[in-house]
Amino acid sequence: MSSLGESGERKTAIGLMSGTSMDGIDAAYIVSDGVSVEKIGPSISIPMPEALQDTIRTVMNRATNATSRNDPIPDLESLSHEITVLHAKAVQTLLTTYDLDPRSIDMIGFHGQTITHKPEKGWTWQIGCGQTLANLTGIPVINDFRSNDMKHGGEGAPLVPVYHAALLKNSKDDEKARAILNLGGVANVTWVKWTGNSVDLLAFDTGPANALSNDWAREHTGQRYDKDGNLAAQGTTHEDVLMGLMASPYFDEHPPKSLDRDDFTISSLRGLNATDGASTLIDFTVEAIVSAQSHFPESVAAWYVCGGGVHNRTMMRRLRKHIPVMIDPVDAMGWNSDSLEAEAFAFLAIRSQRNLPLSFPETTGTSEAVTGGVYYSPLT
Ligand SMILES: Nc1ncnc2c1ncn2[C@@H]1O[C@H](COP(=O)(O)OP(=O)(O)OP(=O)(O)O)[C@@H](O)[C@H]1O
Ligand SMILES: CC(=O)N[C@H]1[C@@H]2OC[C@@H](O2)[C@@H](O)[C@@H]1O[C@H](C)C(=O)O
């Protein structure tokens, strides 16, 4: 790849992300032309009610076991509607909290909730209705960011790399290779190297980030996640179990590559006590990230980390122990680790409206650089 595109008219957009952790909906405001980022934030997050999380989990299992997108999935329509209404609430909360005029927002980038992701079948599924969200907010909506990618032979994920590249342009250490790591439910990394106005990228999902630890914590402590990694910090990693998890052929596969939330499970940890299981899972996340470096075209000068895993002290400590270069939360660069993915979907919406590419052979494996997203204008 070379440049991110020519500069253009700047737009204001709100990005909405409800990720694989299912813990809440993030909404972030940005001003950008889809090439460079003029203003980041404000942003908010609203929690996903427990009952809704349970329904998502049920529908996720049904969708994962479905044989095609045409299989009838009980509760899918009502869940999709409920998720859309909650996203409208997230937009409203952002607007009212920061006294923003909805008429000043050009568009919303709406990721939706992934219920299954099967790149090997050319199939990825995000639920939520773009038209309903446009009608509820009165703001144009762009959603369905991943379908066109898959139509062009891509993995459908990760899509945030182009935003990572835009953020790193004009930052300090401009011309060194750097990595941006997202520690959400699943972890994904973008390797970025700018040379003048030309950028080289490589991106892929490295393995689980918090999803398995969350499942483990839920089962063993009743908590939604292992706060600060305290449970894991008290445990001892079982190397045999860790080696078994790392034996998956996924880690040697050359990128581009992507994962579904449940491609790895906690089943091989059965029998471990709560603390040892938690410790082993954190080391699994870390080891997968360490091994991801073998795919980098060249080693990086620094890592910048975003996503909820930034708050897991044990995870960050062990990452720093195993990777010998600087590892900082993206906040050290003046960005926001909690809202960066939502910002990315605002940025992608602006690019979509300008017909600029969202996906590249080096990020998702599309046959060529392609745009994506579907536009909905409010009808009421
Ligand atoms: N204080 C904390 N200590 C430990 N873990 C935390 C803390 N705060 C957040 N997390 C973890 O971060 C997760 C949420 O991360 P994030 O919001 O980035 O995920 P996501 O956007 O749903 O995922 P994805 O990027 O895969 O779509 C929580 O489920 C939890 O596991
Ligand atoms: C299919 C899907 O929703 N994938 C997510 C998930 O969560 C993290 C990782 O797996 C990443 O590949 C992707 O999300 C980010 C936003 C992306 O597309 O860049």
Bridge-based pairing of strands 123-127 and 24-32 is: unpaired
The answer to whether the beta carbons of residues 12 and 31 sit under 8 Å apart is yes
| 138 labeled part of a ligand binding site | no
> Under CATH, to which class is 11-157+342-376 assigned?
alpha beta
**What pLDDT does residue 173 have?**
66
152-194 tens-digit pLDDT: 999 999 999 999 999 999 786 668 999 999 999 999 999 999 9
pLDDT value at 380 more than 80: no
What is the distance in A from the centroid of ligand 1 to the CA of 202?
23
Over range 87-108, report the average pLDDT: 98
Three-state secondary-structure class, residue 83: helix
pLDDT value at 243 more than 80: yes
Of 149-163, 172-186, 236-250, 274-288, the poorest mean pLDDT is in 172-186
| 36 labeled part of a ligand binding site | no
| 19 labeled part of a ligand binding site | yes
293 confidence band (pLDDT: 50, 70, 90): very high
What is the distance in A from the centroid of ligand 2 to the CA of 5?
23
1 confidence band (pLDDT: 50, 70, 90): low
Same fold, 11-157+342-376 and 161-333: yes
The contacts found for 368-371 with CB under 8 angstroms, 24 or more apart, are 368/152, 369/1, 370/148, 370/149, 370/152, 370/154, 371/148
- Whether domain 161-333 has CATH 3.40.1440.10: the reply is no
Pocket of ligand 2 (CB under 6 A): 19-20, 114, 117, 124, 157-160, 182, 184-186, 188, 205, 258, 341
User: Domains of the chain: which residue ranges?
Assistant: 11-157+342-376, 161-333
- Identify the residue whose C-alpha is closest to ligand 2 atom 13: 158
Over range 256-281, report the average pLDDT: 96
**What pLDDT does residue 67 have?**
87
Three-state secondary-structure class, residue 283: helix
347 confidence band (pLDDT: 50, 70, 90): very high
Q: What is the mean pLDDT of the chain?
A: 96
Q: Which of 17, 18, 26, 114 to mutate to test the pocket of ligand 2 (most atoms within 8 A of CB)?
A: 114
Q: Which of 21, 126, 341 to mutate to test the pocket of ligand 1 (most atoms within 8 A of CB)?
A: 21
Over range 197-221, report the average pLDDT: 96
ipTM of the complex model: 0.98
**What pLDDT does residue 56 have?**
97
pLDDT value at 70 more than 90: no
